[in-house]
Amino acid sequence: MQQSRDEMEVLFALLAERYERGSVLLMSNLAFTGWEAISRIR
């Protein structure tokens, strides 16, 4: 699944805003090492 840079920025902004208000639970069936493919973070 590929996301554009704009889509990822919206997601991270949403997570950052939510984090300021309370807990955030993020779930994935990928190993943590596979998250790079989703977020394109290196």
Please report which helix (H) or strand (E) contains residue 7, including its range: helix 5-21
pLDDT reported for residue 1: 58
pLDDT reported for residue 5: 83
What is the per-residue pLDDT across 29-38, written as a single tens digit (0 to 9) for each? 888 887 777 6
Q: In which residue are the tokens 């977020």 written?
A: 39
pLDDT reported for residue 26: 79
The residues of the chain scoring below 50 in pLDDT are 42
Task: Give the distance, in angstroms, between the CA of residue 15 and the centroid of all CA atoms in the same chain.
Answer: 7
Round to the nearest angstrom and report the end-to-end CA distance of the chain.
17
Which one-letter DSSP state was computed for residue 29?
S
Instruction: Report residue 24 as tokens.
Output: 């955030």
pLDDT reported for residue 13: 93
Please report which helix (H) or strand (E) contains residue 33, including its range: none
